[in-house]
Amino acid sequence: MSILENLNNIKQTLPDHVTLVAVSKTKPVSDLMEAYNAGQRIFGENKIQEMADKYEEMPKDIDWHMIGHVQRNKVKYMASFVHLIHGIDNFKLLEEINKQAKKYNRIIDCLIQIKIAEEDSKFGMTASEASEIIQSKDFLELQNIKIIGVMGMATFTDDQNQIKKEFSRLKNTFSELKQLDTKNCKLETISMGMSGDYQLAIDCGSTMIRVGSSIFGSRNYSN
């Protein structure tokens, strides 16, 4: 099936409150343009340099989401244009994003990545680490970032019960952290669900899904 058909099939099943991020990492600009011409305006990448290159080449009415692990020294390459950074897993990273955003007079939206998987390989904070940061005095001083939600990745497994448990964990953490409403932290987004599990994620409360291979086909490397 074509990228257009894949996109339309997925969009048909999505409730109105769920945002679709088309994950285009490793795919050529021609593939992204197919999705763009089908109406898609939100793209997710997991490497900053690749995202910056695609940003240069593509129309400027696209929202670019950084969904991968972010290295502090590369924040500067996306600070002028990135729309949402999903993988915040430490305070120093927030400080760097704040510093770079300030240079462009921007407020950059961010999601806190919560470690919900039992696997060790996944990044993220615990709920209490996140809560501690949000309530700290240093955090309140960061005027050029805004935390608008949480993000999580479930264990890579076929066990639906396990995935469901992990997604529910993220939903609960969201509800807990949502109470900590500050000037630069207003939680509204739950980013969870990928090609294999987005329907389950939506059932568990997801408001933003990150779908790659079901739109663009499988990638040529394991990621």
Ligand X SMILES: *Cc1c(COP(=O)(O)O)cnc(C)c1O
Return residues touching ligand X (CB under 6 A): 23, 25, 46, 67-68, 153, 194-196, 210-214, 223
Q: Which residue has its beta carbon closest to ligand X?
A: 212
Q: Which is nearer to ligand X, 142 or 163 (CB)?
A: 163
Q: Which is nearer to ligand X, 63 or 107 (CB)?
A: 63
Closest among 108, 150, 157, 144 to 129, alpha carbons compared: 150
H helices then E strands: how many in the chain?
A: 9, 8
Nearest approach, Cβ of residue 26 and ligand X (Å): 9
**Distance separating alpha carbons of residues 49 and 140, to the nearest angstrom:** 30
Q: Answer yes or no: are the C-beta atoms of 173 and 157 closer than 8 Å.
A: no
Residue 73's Cβ-count burial label (10 Å; 0-12, 13-18, 19+) is exposed
User: For residue 3, what are its two tokens?
Assistant: 């990228």
Nearest approach, Cβ of residue 212 and ligand X (Å): 3
User: For residue 153, what are its two tokens?
Assistant: 């990745």
Nearest approach, Cβ of residue 145 and ligand X (Å): 20
Q: Which is nearer to ligand X, 46 or 184 (CB)?
A: 46
Give me the half-sphere count of Cα atoms (radius 13 Å) on the Cβ side of residue 81.
19
Q: Answer yes or no: are the C-beta atoms of 210 and 21 closer than 8 Å.
A: yes
Q: Which is nearer to ligand X, 36 or 139 (CB)?
A: 36
Q: Which is nearer to ligand X, 41 or 219 (CB)?
A: 219
**Distance separating alpha carbons of residues 102 and 108, to the nearest angstrom:** 9
Nearest approach, Cβ of residue 195 and ligand X (Å): 3
Nearest approach, Cβ of residue 216 and ligand X (Å): 8
**Distance separating alpha carbons of residues 175 and 21, to the nearest angstrom:** 22
Q: Which is nearer to ligand X, 38 or 107 (CB)?
A: 38
Closest among 130, 134, 84 to 110, alpha carbons compared: 84
**Distance separating alpha carbons of residues 19 and 66, to the nearest angstrom:** 15
Nearest approach, Cβ of residue 196 and ligand X (Å): 6
